[in-house]
Structure 1
Amino acid sequence: MRDAVNGFPTTPAPLLEAAFQAVAADGMRDLPFFHSQIPIRACGFQLFEQQWIGCMLTPWMLSLLVLPGPQQQWQPRQVGEKLALALPCGNVSFTLGEIDGCGQYLACSLMSPLESSLRADQALALAENSARMALSLPVVDGSLPSNPRRRALFRLQRGNGADA
């Protein structure tokens, strides 16, 4: 059995970028879905419930990642195992992955392969915004009734002059 996965005391972003650079250099560049104009960048990593969460952008994919935070220790799991996490944005399904230099992590694919028309600046903005949105609470207009039939009732009343 493998050893436990120790948490990262500081952001794992530089380690992730180096690890995915190594993957890119190891034959990924020759694949048809590799978009050389897209940089390899770990975007928006921050602590959430003592775990690091952010987006990993590569020339072949965009994924939401979770890695253990400071003083955290994950028990080793089988690569490919599925886990669901409740994030502020909602429930998200992750797959356990592993990469040299970083160990095990959870990944949720957001775009794989990347759209071929995506420019580098667009891809970076998408990665940053996706990381931010994963940890954002859903926006609800508190002035609207939660029951749509009730809204329809109010519209009917206004139409009949009942609100005058």
Structure 2
Amino acid sequence: MPNVISGFQTNPAPRLEAAFQAIAAASMRELPFFHPQMPIRACGFQLFEQQWIGCMLTPWMLSLMVLPGPQQQWAPCRVGEKLALALPCGNVNFTHGHIDDCGHYLACSLMSPLENSLGAEQAQALAENSVRMVLSLPVVDNSIPSNPGRRALFRLPRGN
């Protein structure tokens, strides 16, 4: 295990796509849940709090991923270790992983295996929208009671 895990100076999307292409060719194509029409795409990768975050779409899964950003150094972790991150959408549980030619990352499975009915365009839109949702602040409507009882549902807010 390395002493520190160094960050990506530039967007890791091209390296991720190449690494997952190699995985697909070497070991995934023959599996029954492999969707050959599904592209391998690193979607929506952007810097968030100095870390790269985005979704990885493959013919077998959709995962939210976090990789170290420019000038970042992560402490070494074992593959399979769990870590919860506080993101704008709330706490998200990740698993530490490693891919040859790409390095260390955190992943949260969003869909594995992929739904059979999911088309390539739909899957890419889902991946892009998932990144936006994860990085969006929750919307709170202050006019709705936080713990409404049956009767609270029929009361108008004061001042109306």
How far apart are residue 77 of structure 1 and its match? 0.8
Question: What TM-score, normalized to structure 1?
Answer: 0.90
Match of 1:19, as an amino acid?
A
Q: Tell me the matched-pair count.
A: 159
User: Is the alpha carbon distance of 1:30 and 1:141 closer, same or farther for their aligned partners in structure 2, counting shifts above 3 Å?
Assistant: same
Runs of 4+ residues deviating >4 angstroms:
none
* Counterpart residue number, 1:129: 129
Residue 27 of structure 1: how far off its partner (Å): 2.3
Stretches of structure 2 lacking an aligned partner (at least 5 in a row): none
Q: CA–CA distance in 2 between the matches of 1:47 and 1:154?
A: 42
Partner amino acid, structure 2, of 1:29: R
Equivalent residue runs for 1:15-164 within 5 Å: 15-149=15-149, 152-153=151-152, 155-156=154-155
Report sequence identity in percent: 74
What is the CA-CA distance between 1:10 and the residue it aligns to? Answer: 1.3
Q: Could you state the TM-score of these two structures normalised by the residue count of structure 2? A: 0.92
How far did 1:12 drift? 0.5
* C-alpha separation in 1, matches of 2:56 and 2:21: 12
Which AA in structure 2 matches 1:17? E
Q: Which has the higher helix share?
A: 1
Counterparts of residues 7-22 of structure 1 (less than 5 Å): 7-22=7-22
| Residue of structure 1 equivalent to 2:2 | 2
Cα shift at 1:143:
3.0
Question: Which one has a bigger Cα radius of gyration?
Answer: 1
Unaligned runs of 5+ in 1: none
Does the CA contact (< 8 Å) of 2:145 and 2:152 recur in 1? Answer: no
CA separation in 2, counterparts of 1:111 and 1:89? 18
Superposition RMSD in Å: 2.0
Q: Any idea what the Cα deviations from partners look like across 1:77-126, whole Å, max 9, x if unmatched? A: 10000000011111111000100111010000000000011100110011
- Partners of 1:103 and 1:3 lie apart in 2 by 13
